[in-house]
Structure formats: C-alpha cells, structure tokens
Structure 1
Amino acid sequence: MEKLITALTELEKLKYVERGTNVKGRKESTAEHSWSCMMIADILIDFVEEPLDRLKVMEYLLYHDIVEVYAGDAKFNNPDEMKLKYQKEASALAKIKTFIPNQNRFDKITSEYEERKTREAEFAKAVDCLDACIRNINDETKSANDGFTAELIRQKYLPHVSQFDITKELFEHLMLQLRKLNKL
C-alpha cells in the first residue's frame, strides 16, 4: 500500500509542473497539457484514414510527459534547455521506475511512444505537436516576438504531423491562424 501511495502522490505532482504556455494569466501545467492531448486525440482519431487503437493512443498521451514530474518542461526554442533535456528525462524516468506499479507495462508504453514503434505512437506524437499550436492560439500573451518562428515550428512538428492526412491538414490551418494572429 505504501508503494501505491508513493506512486500516486508523486505522479500527481505533474499538476505543478509549469509549461511555457499560459492559461488565463498563469502557466499551463503538464497535467493540463496531457489532458488536452487526450481530448484532441479522441476527437481526431475518428478522422484518421486507418484504424487505430484508441486506448493505446490514450495510454501514450497519459504518460508521454510523465518524466516532467522531475525533469521539468524544456522549450524547444531554448538550446540550453534542449541540451539537458534527454539527460534530465532519463534520470527522471529511472526515478519513476523505482516506484511505479506494473513497471513492465509502463516500460512498454513509454518506450513504444518514445521510439514511435506503432502507428498509435506516431499519432500521439502528432497530437502532442498540434496541442502546442492550439494552446498558442488561445494564449493572449504569445506573440511573434517569443522566438517560435514558423520555420522552427515546421522543422520540429512537420515530420510528426505529416504522418496522417488529418493532422497535417489541421497543422497547416493552425499555422495560418497563428500567422493571422501575429504569433509567428
């Protein structure tokens, strides 16, 4: 029971991890980002041209940023943060593995997602990319001066969103919207 309580109370701290985007005058949490990704995936999965396992997608998105409990969020327009990202995340993953129940299942979910071993993992990553675009449309504090250029976003997100027609098309529409709002 103690190990279960430790796992639940430690992972709940994802609610406290601040990301670079804002929600009504405060920083978005990684837990909010994970929920948003799951909502987007649940809506978009019905538009994907091939059958995908919805539960598998949801599992990937539930755990895709769990390492941020200890590693924090890294902004991809900050080279210094990105240099340390993989080392910090590997250390965080090792710590989580010391207390998470059903470690084999957790390992399978996180490695399949990180290595994009399944179409569901590729879809989950595409959704993760779309979430940032959607969040930035709603973030009144974001502007073209934030260092997230269209070229940088395309370089980072296009390989992932291009895996599915619906995510590619939605990405292009979101990019147009961001440009119209002077956020790129």
Structure 2
Amino acid sequence: MKLEQLLRSLTELEKLKTVDRGLNVGNRKESSAEHSWSCLLIADLIIDFVNEPLDKLKVFEYLIYHDVVEIYAGDAKFNNPEEMKLKRKKEQRALEQISSFIPNTNKFQRIMHEYEERLTRESEFAKAIDCIDSCVRNLNDESASNKDGFTETLIRAKYVPHVSKFVLTQKLFEALMNRLVAQNKV
C-alpha cells in the first residue's frame, strides 16, 4: 500500500460526513456518517441480547461500510420511486469508484457483497439494525410527520423482511412503530 493511496482513501471516505439523509437532527439533516455511527451504537447495545452467537466484528464491518457508496451515489429515499429506480446503478458505480482507490479492495468488496446480498447472519443483523436506526431517528425528529410520505404501510413493507429475522429486532421495531403511529409521524 502506498501512502498516497491511504491518504486518498481517508480523505474520500471522510466525505460520508457531508451526505445528507432525509431525517433531521435538530435544525439540520442527519449525515450518513451519523447514521452509520448510530447503527454501530445500537448494534453494540443489543447484540448480546440476540439469542444466537454473532461475530460482533463482522457486524461492525458491515455497519461501518454499508453506506459509504452514498459518498458518490447520494442517499435514496425509499418513498421516492424515481430515486429508488436509479439507486442500484448509482451505488454500483460508486462501489467501483471506491474500489479503485481503497487499500484493501478485496476486503471492501467482500463486505459490501455480503451485506447487500445478506449472505451471513451478521449481515442480516446489520440490515435489521439499519432499519431500527431509521425508526429511532424518525421518532427523535421533531419535524417528522405523517405528511412526509413515509406511511406505516410503506415502512412495514420495507423493514419487516429484515427486522423479522431476529426476535429482538422484531420486538424493537414493533415498539418503535407503535410510538411513531401514536405521535402521528407515520
């Protein structure tokens, strides 16, 4: 590995902090980097309560990298069909771009492939955590309302296939959804 390659990787990947997501943190948009950190925190808090052994390092790797493609592809809102049509293609191009400079390309591509295809229990858990985090952020977003286009039906269709893989994430999701509905946020 060359120092220049490492420097480019560090400066490019740090740009995840500048990618805005759909939900707010106070009076600004949440960044994809904040979302990734929050996912890591949630995973660390609950992984010991999942009734099966999971490799925490693998879960953390999936969550650290799961949205880095958004540096170049942007965040696609799943309530926007036009954005969702372009999502796969944009993210594939971004994956190729990042793979061209990241020092351990094989490791990066393996992590992304396993996560996207849900090839391991850890990648399934990481995806469930990704869904849980979005519900928590929505709950904490003072400006969120049921007028945002994120309906209970839409959220359930998108998240239930993932959160239902683990009893704990299913229970957390249902509790979060009940609160979101009660607060008219979905």
Range into which the TM-score falls when normalised by the shorter chain: over 0.9
Q: Kindly indicate whether residue 25 of structure 2 is the aligned counterpart of residue 23 of structure 1.
A: yes
Within-5 A mapping of 1:1-184: 1-184=3-186
Q: Which letter does structure 2 place at the counterpart of 1:106? A: F
Q: Deviations over 1:78-116 (max 9, x none)?
A: 001001101110010000011001111111111111110
Residue 43 of structure 1 deviates from its aligned partner by 0.7
Q: Which letter does structure 1 place at the counterpart of 2:102? A: I
Q: Which letter does structure 2 place at the counterpart of 1:110? A: M
Q: What's the % identity of the aligned pairs?
A: 66
Gaps of 5+ in 2: none
Q: When the two structures are aligned, how many residues end up with a matched partner?
A: 184
- Secondary structure of the 1:167 match is helix
User: What TM-score comes out, normalization by structure 2 length?
Assistant: 0.98
- Secondary structure of the 2:68 match is coil
Stretches (4+) displaced over 6 A: none
Q: Deviations over 1:126-174 (max 9, x none)?
A: 0000001000000001001001111000000000000000000000000
Gaps of 5+ in 1: none
Aligned counterparts of 1:159 and 1:32: Cα–Cα separation in 2: 24
Aligned counterparts of 1:168 and 1:157: Cα–Cα separation in 2: 10
Residue 46 of structure 1 deviates from its aligned partner by 1.0
User: What TM-score comes out, normalization by structure 1 length?
Assistant: 0.99
Aligned counterparts of 1:167 and 1:154: Cα–Cα separation in 2: 13
Aligned counterparts of 1:53 and 1:93: Cα–Cα separation in 2: 24
Q: Which letter does structure 2 place at the counterpart of 1:49? A: N
Aligned counterparts of 2:173 and 2:55: Cα–Cα separation in 1: 22
Residue 67 of structure 1 deviates from its aligned partner by 0.1
Aligned counterparts of 2:103 and 2:147: Cα–Cα separation in 1: 44
- Secondary structure of the 2:54 match is coil
CA RMSD in angstroms, aligned pairs only: 0.5
